[in-house]
Structure 1
């Protein structure tokens, strides 16, 4: 096995590798293009010969990163949810491909990837109005790293160039929620609107928007005082589909007496409203629905939330932040993080502790005081018993 180089034009070389055909024994030639100095071409030739001998050689391939990403997007469709697939496809085709798509996959280098992130941060918006956020570029990095990891598995690359690239640091955004007085004000402001029950399910039960949109009356047991969260609505370009909750498993959420009373009243109102339309409320009916009992899209909940919140003097927060408010209220009231984690549907208690670490210092101070009081009480009792 041997190799040679041939200059095609100044700075451009052809690397020719001679290797015997395993079947016929005849000599076969493999051609590689290379740009650089003669010395660099000789080093690359030696590297390719070494790769052939070591079994890590890759056949010359002109596949661009853009073409590979299209193949990868098709491949992962069966492995992720439709919404995730849409997100991956958008990031790959609309953010990554415009920056790196023209590069031949086998020639993609860490420096090029790092430079593309810098460009994206400075001028990556598709509308031409500035750069992308560090969080979006971080998502781009995750998608590209996953895609190139598959290229390694398919033996299209020897190594993943993303492994040598650090994505931009994402600063944690301050969490904005409602305290208890603001929560009371919110409930009063939404009292005669269709947003009352969705908001209550978020701020008093910690349900996600998709879980609220998918909740049916058969999953609500006001007698036992609990809700079974078994589905979540996911909105895609093809419409709304119902899937298992985010954590991958169902959970049971205990209801407060306030929530039970509100759900009973809501069901009675909903039944009367539907009866006027000639529709009978059933256990299959959605708890949160349109006036004609058709289910709401998750985005419809958000749009109505923004509209109604804008009519109040309350701070402008996302609908999802009501779930954060519920978690904050629980932890600040001394509820054990494990219980809060189960109620919120987090897969691990560590997620709860990480998300709501801002509440923990107050809890820690409270715990120290309680333990100190108990210790003093024990010391006093012992002193009295000895005396």
Structure 2
């Protein structure tokens, strides 16, 4: 038999009787939890009582990281609202491959800040890559590994297994800003010229990437309902991602930022042509469409309505530039190309930030600070004409 005790705002102590002392007093197993109401607390009591009575409950001070990982996976990571599919997959991979093999045997209470410091410092050494390639891990990869460790320990604090997170005060290597390769205007003209001999859907896909700055997964997830050919705009509100063991799945955009982005009028004409073709194809095979995606009408899909896999876009792009001996840049760098062209044309950073779907303008400034600085210097040089004229008078 168990009962709950209020311990403060949204805090309750769960009490379960597990036996009696020699003097007749009850023996308890207790756990403090967070709950929005007594009703929610009683539901947690029921689960707690079942764990205790079935011998599945481990006292917080004794539970090891390996055991807690199962709790984290079931009660946090597997809840779609907590982590995006990409982040979930990334954290699980890091925990399984880098963290649990070294720290899984340790009790949560025994994991100290120095262990996290040692973990981060060890990642900086040679030979820590898991892909077999030479070289050190990038600072961003190290930060991601830290975030996975920090996340599981934060849940341990939240669920009262430990009092504080030993990862909180660890200093991380500063991410090194890497200048992305982009195309200049002449190189873009070459790209568009080459695309004239390729299927219309690839011409449209690459044009969308360059003119809107949309991400690979966002382009793959575009449906015809997102296109307004009268106003020449596209609504970007979802993305496709590949989840190991599950296949391609829809998710929200990065930062959950939906946005409407304008594109050139000439692209609207191409889209109208492609849609007419797609409508004919859909009518011809409407009885054998892919059931998984029957409620969606993707722009870039096969004849059965199945959307293109996001990674296949990058693979096609790599083959395209190799075959045509074009300067090699990643497909993602078309996004950087789009931003760079707009900056050089004098478009305000706030507008560019909105088009790219950045959380705030500071993200845009951090990524494209060097391009903005170059554009600013070019702008200042325009005043030389006035100053030279004045000096000659």
Normalising by the smaller structure, the TM-score range is 0.7 to 0.9
C-alpha separation in 2, matches of 1:231 and 1:129:
33
Aligned CA distance change for structure 1 residues 118 and 347 (closer, same or farther; 3 Å)? closer
- Give 1:160's aligned residue: 165
In the alignment, is the contact (CA less than 8 A) between 2:237 and 2:259 conserved in 1?
Answer: yes
Q: CA deviation at 1:327?
A: 0.7
C-alpha separation in 2, matches of 1:158 and 1:83:
29
Three-state SS of the structure 2 residue aligned to 1:185 is helix
Q: 1:261 aligns with which of 255, 260, 269?
A: 269
C-alpha separation in 2, matches of 1:316 and 1:302:
12
TM-score where L is the length of structure 2: 0.73
C-alpha separation in 1, matches of 2:66 and 2:327:
44
Aligned CA distance change for structure 1 residues 283 and 191 (closer, same or farther; 3 Å)? farther
In the alignment, is the contact (CA less than 8 A) between 1:233 and 1:243 conserved in 2?
Answer: yes
- Give 2:209's aligned residue: 202
- Give 1:304's aligned residue: 316
Is residue 2:160 matched to residue 1:148?
Answer: no
Three-state SS of the structure 2 residue aligned to 1:227 is strand
Q: 1:342 aligns with which of 346, 354, 372?
A: 354
Unpaired stretches in structure 2, ≥5 consecutive residues: 1-20, 27-58
Aligned CA distance change for structure 1 residues 64 and 360 (closer, same or farther; 3 Å)? same
Q: CA deviation at 1:268?
A: 4.3
C-alpha separation in 1, matches of 2:115 and 2:69:
16
Show CA shifts across 1:234-291 (max 9, x none): 221212222332232321111212322332343345456x279555999953211224
C-alpha separation in 1, matches of 2:374 and 2:103:
48
In the alignment, is the contact (CA less than 8 A) between 1:99 and 1:116 conserved in 2?
Answer: no
C-alpha separation in 2, matches of 1:137 and 1:243:
25
The count of corresponding residues between Structure 1 and Structure 2 is 326
Output aligned runs, 1:274-353, within 5 Å.
274=281, 278=285, 285-353=297-365
Unpaired stretches in structure 1, ≥5 consecutive residues: 1-20, 27-58, 380-387
C-alpha separation in 2, matches of 1:133 and 1:192:
39
In the alignment, is the contact (CA less than 8 A) between 1:204 and 1:259 conserved in 2?
Answer: no
Show CA shifts across 1:290-341 (max 9, x none): 2444211111212212222221222222111111110110011000111111
C-alpha separation in 2, matches of 1:96 and 1:240:
27
Three-state SS of the structure 2 residue aligned to 1:252 is strand
Q: CA deviation at 1:88?
A: 1.3
Bigger shift: residues 339-348 or 161-170: 161-170
Structure with max Cα Rg: 1
C-alpha separation in 1, matches of 2:24 and 2:178:
64
Bigger shift: residues 176-185 or 246-255: 246-255
C-alpha separation in 2, matches of 1:212 and 1:186:
18
Three-state SS of the structure 1 residue aligned to 2:234 is strand
Is residue 2:114 matched to residue 1:124?
Answer: no
- Give 1:3's aligned residue: none
Three-state SS of the structure 1 residue aligned to 2:370 is coil
Pairwise CA RMSD = 3.5
- Give 1:233's aligned residue: 240
Show CA shifts across 1:130-174 (max 9, x none): 654332221111121122122222222232211232223432222
C-alpha separation in 1, matches of 2:222 and 2:383:
42
- Give 1:212's aligned residue: 219
TM-score where L is the length of structure 1: 0.74
Show CA shifts across 1:100-133 (max 9, x none): 2222221112222222233333333446666543
Aligned CA distance change for structure 1 residues 361 and 120 (closer, same or farther; 3 Å)? closer
Is residue 2:246 matched to residue 1:242?
Answer: no
Output aligned runs, 1:160-179, within 5 Å.
160-179=165-184
C-alpha separation in 1, matches of 2:157 and 2:64:
15
Q: CA deviation at 1:369?
A: 5.2
In the alignment, is the contact (CA less than 8 A) between 1:309 and 1:316 conserved in 2?
Answer: yes
C-alpha separation in 1, matches of 2:276 and 2:356:
28
